[in-house]
């Protein structure tokens, strides 16, 4: 037996301890595992799409301080999740962690929050991608055109996810190069060719939205960074398709946040220094009267229309990669819950294509519901705020449940050692703060939607799921407690 087949057998035997057969193809290495989370974080999606939102709320100071604050605390959250992922390297990710540490009810609610959060993320990512693509086609941004383009993008992503996990991994590997090279080119162009503001401009606390006091507007502006820093749980969801997942999946989670934080900060500082006038870039419109995304408006004003168009093209490509990866991650969560009989039509959603090794029904269910989610919300800040809060609540639940329990840490090959309790405590405190802030006006619909979904889930659980759903068998036997 060669070393590769021996490692594959060890991974398969490790998965069998959780009571699952190796149905999904285990073909991802460490870099591909990192790449899928990096692609979903996608600094060219979140940071660019919501650049205007952050600038309007907090001005240049939002970019100077908001991004590193979010980076540091998200890294702490990622480290907490990495330790849990090492203990439970399954596609269920937070769902399985919560079920093992708190029981089937916590697991079931965590799974659905994760699924709904990822569906909203897919909707927001691909709707933004549609907004960036239509101008290149010479089409007006009518609701009909936007939703037709959204549907087309979702279909292409779903087809690729269904027919080749290996191709999706290759595309995500390429996405890393697109993001990093694109940012370095952008920063170089700005530094060498654009008229720049003085460095002191980065400290200006401008609240163009008119909300007071400024510190509150600044906190609201953190949505730009926090929505960008979502989806890094994808590395955990791909654990059953990753070689040596107890080590590689946690590193994928943490490194995706760290690398995104550094590269994204370079981009934001460069764009901010190139702003000629805050008011002008926030209100810029194209020849058809459509609002120009603020980051693109900055580059058009500083470097000319061609530079702005090149940035838009690069961003739309990154958004497509981001949506592709988000569907991959969401479908694995739905598949894992269905495999444990936690969804309606569970036998269907737990189905795996024998030839391609992918959960086709789960992939298409995520894609279709993402279309419906965008139609329901109707606004990017609302859907992004909802996805951020839903995902962070799903991240938070197993971390809280793991506090005070020691047995699971013994299974974590990748661990935080003596710093584990402190890291988990800081992650919990920051996440609670962020979740509260991001459902405040003007994003109250996100909080109302989350409340409505929780009530709906509670009704479904107590009327139906509680009687049929028993949780993952291995977790209920006390494997992880």
| All structural domains of the chain with their residue ranges | 28-89+103-237+247-472
Contact call for residues 90 and 15 (beta carbons, < 8 A): yes
Question: Phi-psi category of 359—alpha, beta or left, where left has phi over 0 and alpha has psi -120 to 50?
Answer: beta
Give the angle 397-48-177 at the CA atoms, nearest 5°: 85
The mean per-residue pLDDT over the stretch 138-164 comes to 88
Q: Look up residue 119 and give its two tokens.
A: 């569906």
Residue 209: both structure tokens together: 């939205």
At 185-212, the pLDDT tens digits run 888 988 888 899 999 999 998 887 776 7
Task: Tell me the C-alpha distance between 46 and 43, whole Å.
Answer: 6
121 vs 164 pLDDT, higher one? 121
- Say if CB 71 and CB 229 are below 8 A apart: yes
Is the sign of the CA dihedral 268, 273, 279, 283 positive or negative?
A: negative
Q: Count CB-CB contacts under 10 A for residue 376.
A: 14
Distances (CA, A) of 300 to 46, 51, 128, 199, 211: 19, 15, 19, 21, 28
Return the C-alpha torsion angle 146, 360, 373, 128, nearest 10.
-40
Longest dimension (CA), the chain: 68
Give yes or no for a cis peptide into 273 (omega within 30° of 0): no
Asked if pLDDT for residue 47 goes beyond 50, the answer is yes
Cα 375–388–299 angle (5° rounding)?
80
Lowest mean pLDDT among 54-63, 107-116, 129-138, 385-394: 129-138
Nearest alpha-carbon partner for 446 in 395, 338, 373: 373
The stretches of 24-164 forming alpha helices (DSSP H) are 30-41, 43-49, 51-61, 67-87, 94-102, 104-133, 143-163
* Burial 265-303, CB ≥16 within 10 A → b, else e: bebbbbbbbbbeebeebbebeeeeeeebbbbbbbbbbbb
The yes-or-no verdict on residue 427 having pLDDT over 90 is: yes
Which stretch of 20-29, 44-53, 96-105 has the lowest confidence by average pLDDT? 20-29
Q: Looking at residues 290-315, what average pLDDT do you find?
A: 82
* pTM attached to this predicted model: 0.85
CATH superfamily of 28-89+103-237+247-472: Amino acid/polyamine transporter I (1.20.1740.10)
| Mean pLDDT of the chain, nearest integer | 85
Mean pLDDT of 316-336: 88
């Amino acid at each position: 037996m060669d070393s590769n087949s021996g490692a594959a057998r060890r991974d398969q035997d490790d998965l069998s301890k959780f009571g699952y057969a190796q149905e999904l193809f285990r073909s991802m290495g460490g870099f591909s595992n990192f790449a899928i989370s990096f692609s979903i974080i996608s600094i060219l999606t979140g940071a660019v799409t919501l650049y205007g939102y952050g600038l309007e709320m907090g001005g240049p100071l939002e970019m100077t301080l908001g991004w590193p604050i979010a980076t540091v605390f998200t890294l702490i959250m990622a480290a907490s999740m990495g330790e849990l992922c090492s203990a439970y390297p399954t596609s269920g990710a937070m769902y399985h962690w919560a079920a093992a540490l708190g029981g089937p009810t916590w697991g079931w609610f965590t799974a659905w929050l994760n699924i709904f959060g990822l569906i909203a993320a897919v909707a927001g990512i691909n709707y933004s991608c549609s907004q960036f693509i239509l101008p290149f086609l010479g089409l007006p941004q009518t609701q009909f055109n936007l939703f037709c383009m959204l549907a087309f993008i979702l279909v292409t992503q779903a087809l690729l996810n269904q027919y080749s996990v290996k191709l999706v991994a290759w595309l995500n590997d390429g996405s890393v190069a697109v993001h990093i090279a694109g940012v370095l080119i952008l920063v170089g162009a700005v530094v060498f060719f654009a008229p720049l503001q003085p460095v002191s401009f980065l400290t200006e606390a401008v609240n163009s939205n008119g909300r007071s006091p400024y510190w509150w507007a600044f906190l609201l502006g953190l949505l730009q960074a926090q929505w960008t820093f979502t989806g890094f749980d994808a590395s955990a969801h791909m654990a059953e398709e990753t070689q040596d997942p107890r080590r590689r999946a946690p590193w994928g989670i943490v490194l995706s946040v760290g690398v995104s934080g550094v590269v994204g900060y370079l981009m934001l500082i460069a764009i901010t220094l190139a702003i000629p006038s805050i008011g002008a870039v926030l209100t810029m419109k194209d020849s058809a009267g459509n609002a120009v995304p603020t980051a693109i408006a900055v580059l058009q004003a500083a470097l000319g229309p061609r530079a702005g168009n090149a940035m838009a093209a690069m961003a739309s490509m990154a958004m497509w990669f981001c949506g592709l990866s988000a569907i991959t991650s969401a479908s694995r969560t739905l598949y894992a819950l269905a495999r444990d009989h936690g969804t309606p039509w569970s036998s269907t959603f737990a189905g795996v294509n024998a030839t391609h090794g992918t959960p086709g029904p789960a992939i298409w269910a995520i894609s279709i519901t993402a279309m419906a989610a965008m139609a329901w919300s109707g606004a990017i800040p609302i859907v992004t705020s909802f996805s951020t809060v839903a995902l962070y609540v799903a991240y938070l639940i197993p971390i809280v449940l793991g506090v005070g329990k020691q047995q699971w840490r013994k299974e974590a090959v990748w661990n935080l050692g003596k710093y584990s309790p402190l890291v988990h405590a800081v992650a919990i405190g920051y996440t609670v703060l962020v979740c509260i802030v991001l459902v405040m006006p003007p994003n109250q619909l996100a909080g109302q939607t989350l409340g409505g979904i929780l009530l709906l889930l509670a009704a479904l659980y107590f009327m139906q799921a509680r009687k049929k759903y028993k949780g993952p068998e291995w977790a209920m036997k006390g494997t992880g407690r």
